[in-house]
Amino acid sequence: MRTNPFITGFTALAALAFGGTAHAYPEFQKYVSQKSGRTVNCAMCHMHSDGPEGAAPGQIGHLTMGEQAELGRARAAFEPHANVKSPILNAFGNHIINSLGKKQFLELRVTPSELANKLPKDSDLDGDGITDVDEYLTGTHPLIKSDGLPWLLFKANLAANLGQIVLMLAATVLGLWGLHHLLHGFDVATRLQDNDEESG
């Protein structure tokens, strides 16, 4: 595994807090789990659900040479708007690094709640009607369209699909009304036939 001399300093900071890895940040996960009460995993920001350590696809041990170079560039993106694409981060993770810069992100490790205030307020990467900041705070995945607080998703989808729903309601009501009268018509007509048969 390659080490970058630039981040040995920050590795020391990490070693102080959690004595070990410099590349996984469980403080944020802990904060989100506690605040939201939902189970989350590293896949909220990382490519692999168990984080960047390991040899599975999406983890550091599985990177090609080109991807390792990308990783190096991403790790050195201390200032915001560096426009990097780390191969061990998903779109949300890269969004964090590109919006805040690695330096500010590492500073936020002691106050993970502040991440919600520093990220762009109206970004909604998966287009589900819930902002990324809100999804971070409620422990739902910012890149999965079908993941979110059920009531918020319901409202957003209802607004988006209102035309179709109204059409469906109109069709059902009209159809039932029509069937109601159609069946009544059959009933009356058959009664008539019975009457005819009976009266001769």
Residues binding another protein (CB under 8 A): 1, 18-21, 24, 26, 38-43, 48-51, 53-57, 59, 61, 139-141, 144-150, 153-154, 157-158, 161, 164-165, 167-192, 195-196, 199
Cβ distance to another protein smaller for residue 35 or 145: 145
> In the complex, what is the shortest distance from the CB of residue 23 to another protein, in angstroms, rounded to a whole number?
9
> In the complex, what is the shortest distance from the CB of residue 131 to another protein, in angstroms, rounded to a whole number?
16
Cβ distance to another protein smaller for residue 57 or 120: 57
Cβ distance to another protein smaller for residue 59 or 98: 59
> In the complex, what is the shortest distance from the CB of residue 78 to another protein, in angstroms, rounded to a whole number?
23
> In the complex, what is the shortest distance from the CB of residue 180 to another protein, in angstroms, rounded to a whole number?
5
Give one DSSP letter per residue of the chain, joined into a string.
----GGGHHHHHHHHHHHSS-SS--HHHHHHHHHHH-S---GGGTBSSTT-S-SSSTTSGGG--HHHHHHHHHHHT--SS------TTB-HHHHHHHHHH-HHHHHHGGG-TTHHHHHS-TT--TT-SSS-HHHHHHHT--TT-TT-S-HHHHHHHHHHHTHHHHHHHHHHHHHHHHHHHHHHHHHHHHHHHHHHHHHH-
Cβ distance to another protein smaller for residue 68 or 157: 157
